């Protein structure tokens, strides 16, 4: 088997198994920390464990995406390869327009793969248009009037967490998911 295909398979297995389990543990800790009947003395210890789980989750995600990234391929080629693999798995297609933002490309590669995977799993549309610019990325189905993305899905929460580390966010507006920089409010 081709080395790059094997790396992709391993990274997908790690993402679908280990990374999802680490994220689930973190969310279970969040629920536990938020309980009203939790002894106050336990809360700081559980928050410390939650911080460690978050760091472990980010480390695992970074390692997974390093496995996916093949050195002789540009970021846009890498994105195209990942989206094509996801699309073929779900019998969907996509149109990719533009270029990735020049900063934080690894984060955008990971987030776009997750959002497109979510589209493929949960939307009835066959085609998604992905538009890339320096200050905004959009994912839009061609026919659906509104998307059924749910921020409670673990992959989407992970995408939100990744974007927050670079001061970006994704918003759902009608039928379009927009990935934009977080606007800092000034008072």
Please write the tens of the pLDDT for every residue from 134-173. Answer: 999 998 887 655 555 554 555 677 788 889 889 999 888 7
Return phi, psi of residue 177, to 5°: -100, 125
> pLDDT digits over 39-71, tens only?
989 999 999 999 899 888 888 887 887 777 655
Q: Which residue has the higher pLDDT, 96 or 143?
A: 96
pLDDT of residue 148: 58
| Domain ranges for the chain | 3-68, 75-181
Q: How confident is the model at residue 94 (pLDDT cuts 50, 70, 90)?
A: very high
Question: Distance (Å, rounded) from C-alpha 59 to C-alpha 19?
Answer: 10
Which tokens sit at 82?
Answer: 């990942």
**Burial of 3: CB neighbours in 10 Å, binned 0-12, 13-18, 19+:** exposed
Q: Between 97 and 14, name the one with better pLDDT.
A: 97
- Percent of residues, the chain, with pLDDT higher than 70: 86
pLDDT score, position 186: 43
The answer as to CATH 3.40.1190.20 being correct for domain 75-181 is no
**Per-residue tokens: 134:** 């320096």
Instruction: Give the pLDDT score at 184.
Output: 56
Query: Which pLDDT belongs to residue 185?
Result: 45
**pLDDT band at 187, cuts 50/70/90?**
very low
Give the least confident one: 22-31, 92-101, 141-150. 141-150
167 φ, ψ to 5°? 65, 40
Tokens of 28: 């279970």
């Amino acid at each position: 088997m081709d080395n790059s295909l094997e790396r992709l398979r391993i990274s997908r297995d790690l993402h679908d198994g280990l990374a999802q389990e680490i994220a689930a543990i973190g969310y279970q800790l969040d629920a536990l920390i938020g309980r009203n009947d939790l002894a106050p003395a336990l809360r700081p210890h559980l928050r410390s464990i939650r911080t460690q789980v978050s760091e472990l989750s980010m480390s695992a995600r970074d390692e997974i995406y390093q496995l996916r990234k093949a050195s002789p391929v540009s970021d846009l080629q890498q994105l195209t390869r990942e989206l094509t693999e996801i699309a073929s798995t779900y019998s969907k297609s996509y149109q990719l327009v533009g270029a990735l933002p020049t900063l934080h490309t690894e984060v955008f590669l990971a987030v776009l793969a997750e959002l497109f995977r979510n589209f493929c799993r949960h939307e009835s549309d066959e085609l998604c248009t992905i538009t890339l610019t320096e200050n905004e990325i959009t994912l839009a189905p061609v026919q659906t009037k509104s998307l059924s993305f749910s921020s409670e899905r673990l992959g989407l929460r992970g995408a939100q967490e990744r974007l927050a580390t670079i001061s970006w966010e994704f918003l759902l507006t009608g039928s379009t998911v927009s990935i934009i920089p977080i606007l800092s409010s000034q008072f």
